[in-house]
């Protein structure tokens, strides 16, 4: 080996040691299943240690339910970190924003005496317009039996216009001439589509301009340059928490296509949606339920039916924050779990709703699939193949006692600990947080993923 090679190797080792000693600051939180994993509670918990919380993709098709002092707060756009007065909450450029919904959230938070001085909105975020919602709903209705299961909130059409360079951005709502110019072409096209294809009443341009200029006026105090704000925070050594909506299996590129959302919930989406480079990210934490759920259409190998499905649904309160739709419930799927670890580069896990399993005598975990007579341990990227996958289960004993009051790992029943260790071993990633209910205090924090050193947590 040359001297240059030796020097390079020593430099890499030195950097590795240095990174191990540095307090990790910038963390991405993602859903490791089909969304609805309880990211809102985990983000709320981690926001205590964060100076800045950034929502980097999705729109009002996502939702968080936060319980604080027995008060239930439902948020769709505004990050749950807003509940901490000193925390900056930034809605990033990768999100699509329905200003009408956002202002309703603002009014709700004001009514609950929540300080909004830290709320910021990216000037470059795209705006969901009324025609986006109408087209979304009409298209889903036309799909009939082949419907995707969208929320009907206009998210897909908003992202489509963004990709076609036909969109309206938040900054356009601050200038009447600019809004008029930007809206003229798209509105003419959408009105023709609404009238001639879907038979829906057209929209009036002047009314839209007046309405959305009003939204812009109200939002003006919160509008910022997203990327510049984040990089300034990074220069000032602030802890930044990047919050994804939906979940890995709903990712446009890496999920169960076509039964997916219109953006990238995976950890890599944080860089694009927030306008930062990957070297700014120190750690990625995935959130997964102790079982699995999904909303809408699409294959679901571990899905349960009958009384057991109803039991999980009722005990877990499995109804969508955004739509109110009943979620489909199933056993924990380790195959998609391992896939989520790989595609997101997960460092650790937060396991939520462990208490929902408290009454069960037997708990099953999917460890592989049977596909056309062959055992596979990977997630197939074909929806047709995925639909043919049959789960191969490992049965584990339940604990049949309440875990709701457990606050330390030592408080958990031994069989519950064994279940968690099995999940950690199966997914080959340690568990940092265990959630045992909706309230903030119903949580076991093995390690704070923001302030804690990178070390082995709850693992096999």
Residues with a known catalytic role: 36, 64
Instruction: Give the integer Cα–Cα distance in Å for 37 and 1.
Output: 50
Provide DSSP, 221-260.
Answer: GGEE-HHHHHHHHHHTT--EEEE--S-GGG-TTTSSTTSS
Short-list 181, 152, 151, 153, CA closest to 166? 181
Provide DSSP, 118-138.
Answer: TEEEETT-EE--HHHHHHHHH
DSSP H or E run through 349: strand 348-352
Instruction: Give the integer Cα–Cα distance in Å for 81 and 118.
Output: 10
Instruction: Give the integer Cα–Cα distance in Å for 110 and 118.
Output: 13
- Are 327 and 314 contacting, i.e. CB atoms less than 8 angstroms apart? no
- Region of residue 426 (phi > 0: left; psi between -120 and 50: alpha; otherwise: beta): alpha
Short-list 360, 245, 354, 364, CA closest to 303? 364
Instruction: Supply 52's token pair.
Output: 């800045």
- Are 290 and 353 contacting, i.e. CB atoms less than 8 angstroms apart? yes
Instruction: Give the integer Cα–Cα distance in Å for 139 and 160.
Output: 13
**Helix (H, G, I), strand (E, B), or coil: what is residue 396?**
strand
């Amino acid at each position: 080996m040359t001297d240059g090679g030796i020097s390079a190797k020593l430099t890499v080792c030195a950097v590795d040691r240095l990174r191990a000693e540095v307090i990790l600051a910038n963390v991405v939180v993602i859903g490791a299943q089909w969304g609805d994993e309880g990211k809102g509670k985990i983000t709320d918990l981690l926001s205590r240690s964060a100076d800045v919380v950034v929502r980097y993709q999705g729109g009002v098709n996502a939702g968080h339910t936060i319980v604080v002092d027995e008060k239930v707060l439902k948020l769709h756009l505004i990050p749950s970190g807003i509940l901490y007065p000193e925390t900056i909450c930034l809605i990033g450029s990768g999100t699509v924003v329905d200003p009408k919904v956002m202002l309703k959230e603002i009014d709700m938070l004001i009514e609950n005496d929540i300080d909004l001085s830290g709320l910021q909105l990216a000037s470059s975020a795209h705006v969901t317009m009324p025609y986006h919602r109408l087209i979304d709903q009409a298209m889903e209705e036309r799909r009939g039996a082949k419907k995707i299961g969208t929320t009907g909130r206009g998210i897909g059409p908003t992202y489509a216009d963004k990709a076609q360079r036909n969109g309206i951005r938040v900054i356009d709502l601050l200038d009447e001439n600019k809004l008029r110019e930007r809206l003229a072409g798209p509105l003419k096209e959408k009105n023709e589509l609404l009238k001639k294809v879907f038979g829906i009443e057209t929209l009036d341009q002047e009314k839209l301009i007046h309405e959305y200029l009003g939204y812009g006026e109200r939002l003006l105090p919160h509008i910022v340059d997203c990327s510049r704000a984040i990089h300034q925070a990074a220069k000032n050594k602030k802890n930044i928490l990047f919050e994804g909506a939906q979940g890995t299996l709903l990712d446009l590129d890496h999920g169960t296509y076509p039964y997916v959302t219109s953006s990238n919930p995976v950890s890599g989406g944080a860089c694009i949606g927030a306008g930062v480079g990957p070297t700014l990210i120190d750690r990625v934490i995935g959130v997964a339920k102790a079982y699995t759920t999904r909303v809408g259409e699409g294959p679901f190998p571990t899905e349960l039916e009958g009384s057991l499905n109803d039991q999980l649904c009722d005990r877990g309160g499995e109804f969508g924050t955004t739509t109110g739709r009943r979620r489909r419930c199933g056993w924990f799927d380790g195959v998609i779990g391992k896939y989520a670890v790989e595609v997101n580069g997960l460092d650790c896990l937060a396991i939520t709703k462990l208490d929902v399993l408290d009454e069960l005598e037997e708990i099953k975990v999917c460890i592989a699939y049977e596909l056309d007579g062959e055992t596979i341990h990977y997630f197939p990227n074909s929806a047709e193949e995925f639909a043919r996958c049959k789960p191969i289960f490992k049965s584990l004993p339940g604990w049949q006692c309440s875990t709701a009051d457990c606050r330390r790992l030592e408080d958990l029943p031994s069989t519950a600990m064994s279940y968690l260790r099995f999940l950690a071993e199966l997914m080959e990633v340690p568990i940092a947080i265990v959630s045992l209910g909706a309230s903030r205090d119903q949580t076991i924090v093995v390690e704070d993923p923001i302030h804690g050193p990178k070390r082995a947590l709850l693992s096999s």
